[in-house]
Amino acid sequence: DAGVIQSPRHEVTEMGQEVTLRCKPISGHNSLFWYRQTMMRGLELLIYFNNNVPIDDSGMPEDRFSAKMPNASFSTLKIQPSEPRDSAVYFCASSRSYEQYFGPGTRLTVT
Amino acid sequence: RKEVEQDPGPFNVPEGATVAFNCTYSNSASQSFFWYRQDCRKEPKLLMSVYSSGNEDGRFTAQLNRASQYISLLIRDSKLSDSATYLCVVNADYKLSFGAGTTVTVRA
């Protein structure tokens, strides 16, 4: 069974540009999570979806960040406009119980 | 106060040694507990769940003390491949709270 799939794996962009990160959860999992990891702040939960519905977006840093889950097999995290402080690794995780399984992450660098 | 506190280490141990470390959590309503492993520049991977009665998975033993809000992990007969950062993870409802991680380096 394929794990969580994320794309792109690496993204380098200039400040002010729009960035879209993509995630395909594990088939049959009904919960999806977006995290951000930095050296300074560790792993932070950005948003949580259950059955494609956003349940908790309190971790989304500001209005520049938005996330969607149009169906059970796809989610996007968009940053517009991007800023250098958004540079981090963004992980998507999925679950069907308490255990979460992480994708390989997208390493974002904003210059 | 952080929700999950861990000793960052690093713990540098020779191959074959036993290494143990722990974490504490602040939310007494936490329902489930895990250890994740994260290798450099990789995603966190579930190592094991932690049950109230304590549990083993091969060379790994996890313990939970709900009264003290304390979780531990012990690695026996450590291997070079055990070198990683170990994340203590606590679940309250759907939300996982991650510790900052304990770095373990096993040397030959």
pLDDT surpassing 90 at residue B95: no
What is the pLDDT, as a whole number, of residue B19?
97
E strand segments, chain B: 4-6, 11-14, 19-25, 32-38, 44-50, 55-57, 60-65, 70-75, 84-92, 95-98, 102-107
Chains A and B: how many Cβ contacts under 8 Å? 38
The three-state DSSP-derived secondary structure of A11-49 is EEECCCCCEEEEEECCCCCCEEEEEEEECCCEEEEEEEE
* Residue B56 reports pLDDT greater than 90: yes
Binning pLDDT at 50, 70 and 90, where does residue A1 land?
A: low
Out of A31, A42, A45, whose CB is closest to B100? A42
Q: Is the pLDDT of residue B1 over 90?
A: no
Residue A31 scores a pLDDT above 80: yes
The two tokens of residue B40 are 């450099």
Residue in B closest to A55 by C-alpha = B94
Nearest to B96 among A50, A55, A100 (CB): A100
Interface of B with A in 40-99 (CB under 8 A): 42-46, 49, 87, 91, 94-96, 98-99
